[in-house]
Each structure stands twice: as structure tokens, then as C-alpha cells.
Amino acid sequence: MQGTEISLTADLADLEARQLYRSRRVVSRREPGARVEVEGKTLLNFCSNDYLGLAGDRRIGVALKEGVDRWGSGATAAHLVTGHTAAHHALEEDLARITGRDRALTFSTGYMANLGVFAALAGRRDLIVEDRLNHASLIDAARLSGAQVRRFRHGDPAAAEARLSTGTHGRSFVVTDGIFSMDGDMAPLGGLSAVSSRHGAWLVVDDAHGFGVTGNDGGGSLSLAGLGQSDVPVLIGTLGKAIGTFGAFVAGSEELIETLIQRSRTYLYTTAPPPAVAAATRQALAIAFAETWRRDKLSELIRRFRVGVEHLGLETTDSDSPIQPILLGEPGRALQASESLFEKGFWVTAIRPPTVPEGSARLRITVSAAHAEDDVDNLLDALADLDLGGARPDG
């Protein structure tokens, strides 16, 4: 036991020495807009995934409370035992309609959805080809499935094709984030779809950061790319980001959803989420898709931020999404920048390896419809005051 403790102490000290130690900050209060109280300080939150500003919406809160009045606090069991309520079922019908898929199946989290998809669909004889920068849950899902896994250069359909072309295998899958979680750029979905169909592979898109945000009326990155169910047989989305509540879903054909119900271990062997959350999510979806001004405002704020960052000469990625990273390189630089912003009243977490590749630690700034133009301008002023080593064209 003592030896175990010593080795954990050494591990923790090592993380600290490499500036990779992570600590949580406790939020003590949510305030209107994107403001939160943390450690006695009111901060503007510029690193949440609440892109449409719905997480604090009173109407969704009321739906949650009414859901509790009707259903109580818990689902009582897994979906296939006694946990699947009319609230869950109606949410799945809403999601199928919104995504234009035959059916949808809800999962407790996006992480579990991704594990569940590959546990159900892939095995030892199959091949999973995935973008190097895919979210950790997709990487883990592929590994756990036992399939052969090959990763391809970020955003490069030709590299994906080369990986598909070698060796023998059963089913094959091309797997990508729709909008990349740490870079904010969009996957080349048209190219990946063409490659997938040439090789008879299934294209799987995790649109956790695109659903509700981008595309026609928030339909996500597939709607932007004009791809439907036959092009992308497996669509995954999350509900805890732009939609502002909690949970995730997989959408696709009747057979896909039935297979997941039979075989997804993260669906079968876990308690269903509280039905009140499903009821609240239905209300959140109705608001998210009806209130188009949220996406319009968000686009305008993203544009404003990008113009400002370009003016400052800071290194960013090719992102039109609400995820607007500023690349800083070493973890220490990202930590220091994050700390300085904190002192100035802005909350922007430093993102370090292994969440992002070595040498690409960053500030992952996210813009939300809950921000005002002044909030964005004030953040840009604060970034200008930091010594981030940008080109600063005009000094």
C-alpha cells in the first residue's frame, strides 16, 4: 500500500514538474450572460461549450422542474429494464425529426455514445480509420472495440483513403469529429464521404460541437456539407454543449438503432438518465432550433473575435466555429496566459497535452451567443495586454 502511495506521489510530482497538473476551479454562482463567480471573483466565461447561451435559460429550467414534478428525480433502471419513459421516447422522436434520420437513440453522455457505437458495430476483424485529432472518446472507443485502428493525418481524405487501402478486413469505418473539439475547424466531410463510399466503409461523424450551431438552421456540420443518412450512416451528437442540458444521441437507420439497443454495452448496462432531463432537453431543442437569432449573433461575434485576433497577430487555427484556439506551444505559456486572463476577469482554461498534441498547448477560447460585443472587445483588449509573442502589426 505504502509503495503504491509513493509511486502515485511520484507520478503527481512528475505531472506538476512538466506543468501538466490539472486542478478544478469551483463555480459558486452562475450569473446572467456568460458570467460566473469563481473563488469570490466574477468572471466572464470564455471557455464553456454553451455556444447558444441556453444552459441558464429559465424556460428550460421550468421544463426541468415540471419534469421532476411528473417523473420524480430518477429513471429507476436501465432503458431495457424499467427506465425508458415517454419523456425519453419523445426526445428520441424529436431528435430523429431534427436530424432527418429514421431513428435516434439517446445515451447518457457523448463519451458513452461513442463507446457504445463501436462496441456494437466493430470487432477484431474490422478496421477503424480515424483522424489524428479526433476526440478522446472516439479514440478510446476504437481501441476498446478490439478492431484494427489506423489514424490518418488531420483533415486529409487522401490519407484516410491510403489507410483504408491496405490489408484485409471485415467492416470498415471512417471516423471523424464534425467540428474538431480543440481546433474548431470542420472535417472535410465531402471528401471523407467520397472516400468512404469508394471503399464501402461507413462514415461515422461525431458532431458534438456542430449540432445546433452550424449548418442550415443549426442542423450541424453534415447539413453544411449537404450529407444525409446514406452518406453518413452513423451520426453522433451531444446535448450538453450547444443544447445546454445533458446527454447525447446516435441517429441513423432503423437497423442501426435496433443493433445499438441490442449490443451497445454503454446503453444496456447503465441507468437511464433522469426523465426530467429528457423533458428539459426537448424544450431546449425547441428553443435552439426556433431562435435563429442565437446563431446569427454567434456568427457575428465569432467574426468580430477573428478580426481582432488577426489584428493582434496571434496564432490561431482555421476555424469559423465558436471554438477559437490561440496556440501557444509549451504548457507553461498556456498556463501563464490563462492565469493572467483570470486576474483580468476572464475565464479561459489552458489546454495542454495529452488533450492536444505535444508542443500545441493553447488557450481554447469559445464564443457564445450569451456574450455581448463589448465582452468580445474586452477580451481582445486583455489578450493585447498579455505578452503572447504575436506579430502585432501596429505595435
In the list 248, 276, 335, 341, the residue contacting ligand PLP (rule: CB under 6 A) is 248
Q: Which of 177, 183, 185, 375 binds ligand PLP (CB under 6 A)?
A: 177
CB of 307 to ligand PLP, least distance (A): 26
- Exposed (0-12), middle (13-18) or buried (19+): which is 272, by Cβ within 10 Å? buried
**Candidates 36-44, 71-79, 104-112, 187-195; binding stretch for ligand PLP (CB under 6 A):** 104-112
**Could you give the CA distance from residue 371 to residue 392 in angstroms, rounded to a whole number?**
25
Are 253 and 235 in contact by the 8 Å Cβ rule? The answer is: no
Least Cβ distance, residue 338 to ligand PLP (angstroms): 19
From CA 295, how far away is CA 213, in angstroms rounded? 6
Question: Smallest gap, in angstroms, from Cβ of residue 127 to ligand PLP?
Answer: 21
Of positions 106, 137, 145, 193, contacts ligand PLP by CB under 6 A: 137
Cell numbers representing residue 62 in the block: 421550468
Backbone φ, ψ for residue 128 (5° rounding): -115, 125
In the list 175, 208, 242, 367, the residue contacting ligand PLP (rule: CB under 6 A) is 208
E strands, the chain, in order: 27-30, 35-38, 41-45, 103-107, 127-131, 148-152, 172-177, 202-206, 234-238, 248-252, 323-329, 346-347, 350-351, 361-366
Nearer to ligand PLP, 109 or 193 (CB): 109
Select from 45, 99, 181, 338 the one that contacts ligand PLP (CB under 6 A): 181
Tell me if 116 contacts ligand PLP by CB under 6 A: no
- Shortest Cβ 209–ligand PLP spacing (Å): 6
Q: How many residues make contact with ligand PLP (CB under 6 A)?
A: 13
CA distance 167 to 253: 29
Cβ neighbours for 9, distance < 8 A, ≥ 6 positions apart: none
Which residue's Cβ lies closest to ligand PLP?
110
Using rule CB under 6 A, residue 130 touches ligand PLP: no
C-alpha span between 121 and 124 (Å, rounded): 11
Least separation, in Å, of the C-beta of 244 and ligand PLP?
12
- Residue ranges that bind ligand PLP, judged by CB under 6 A: 109-111, 135, 137, 177, 181, 206, 208-209, 238, 240, 248
